Amino acid sequence: MVCLVSRTGRHLQRYNKGRRLVVGCIPYRFKGEEKGRANNPVEVLVISSQKGQDMMFPKGGWELDESLTEAACRESLEEAGVLGNVEHELGKWRFKSKSHGIYHEGYMFPLLVTEQLDLWPEQNVRKRVWMTVDEARQVCKHWWMKEALDRLINRLLEGELEEEEARPSS
């Protein structure tokens, strides 16, 4: 059962030295039908901001009653309507919010999507779009999310090379 209401308010919000802590995911999947990563293009899921003008990856506040990965899963569910496997952290970034003028620390994770829901909490205020990595890099508004996307793609490419090297030669 999926909760169809997003968390609201900041009473459980985590801060570090005055910086709001936020957590996000880059939801991704392999487009091809073949098993494994080789030769399967990666698609990523971007969402619109609540006001609908900017595109980004799901992210939001890390709250006191959850782990980093639980927050990442919750944000992906609430904002993008996807479930999946959270993978190893891509990194941590410090940035200033343009809308509120406060400083944040943002953590990003890859989320290998296993399920896309038809109903999700923010479906009436956000659009979601699967796109290529290059398209996502062009439309994503946050520099730090673009860096996280580059780290994800580099990690996937390294994994693909390791898979090829492990295969027996003919």
List the domains of the chain with CATH numbers: 15-165 (3.90.79.10)
> Is residue 164 pLDDT above 60, yes or no?
no
- Greater confidence (77 vs 157) lies with 77
3-state DSSP helix/strand/coil % of the chain, to nearest 5: 25, 35, 40
Please tell me the distance from the alpha carbon of residue 39 to that of residue 30, in angstroms, as a whole number: 9
Q: For residue 83, what are its two tokens? A: 């479930």
Q: CA 61 from chain center: how many Å?
A: 13
The whole-number pLDDT of residue 150 equals 96
Q: CA 146 from chain center: how many Å?
A: 11
Compute the residue count for the chain. Answer: 170
Outline where DSSP puts E strands in 117-165.
Answer: 128-132
Q: What is the mean pLDDT of residues 79-98?
A: 92
Please tell me the distance from the alpha carbon of residue 15 to that of residue 63, in angstroms, as a whole number: 9
Please tell me the distance from the alpha carbon of residue 44 to that of residue 145, in angstroms, as a whole number: 12
- pLDDT band for position 1 (50/70/90)? very low
Going 91 to 94 to 98 to 103, the CA torsion angle's sign is: positive
Q: For residue 138, what are its two tokens? A: 């062009």
Q: What is the mean pLDDT of residues 20-47?
A: 83
Q: What is the mean pLDDT of residues 105-110?
A: 94
Mean pLDDT of the chain: 85
Please tell me the distance from the alpha carbon of residue 121 to that of residue 67, in angstroms, as a whole number: 21
Q: What is the mean pLDDT of residues 107-134?
A: 95
Q: What is the mean pLDDT of residues 65-82?
A: 95
- pLDDT band for position 158 (50/70/90)? confident
Cβ-contact 27, 44 below 8 angstroms: yes
Regarding beta strands 103-116 and 19-30, do their DSSP bridges make them parallel or antiparallel, or are they unpaired? parallel
> Is residue 5 pLDDT above 80, yes or no?
no
Q: pLDDT above 90 covers what percent of the chain?
A: 60
Q: Which single residue is written with the structure tokens 């996937």?
A: 156
| pTM assigned to the model | 0.83
The whole-number pLDDT of residue 10 equals 61
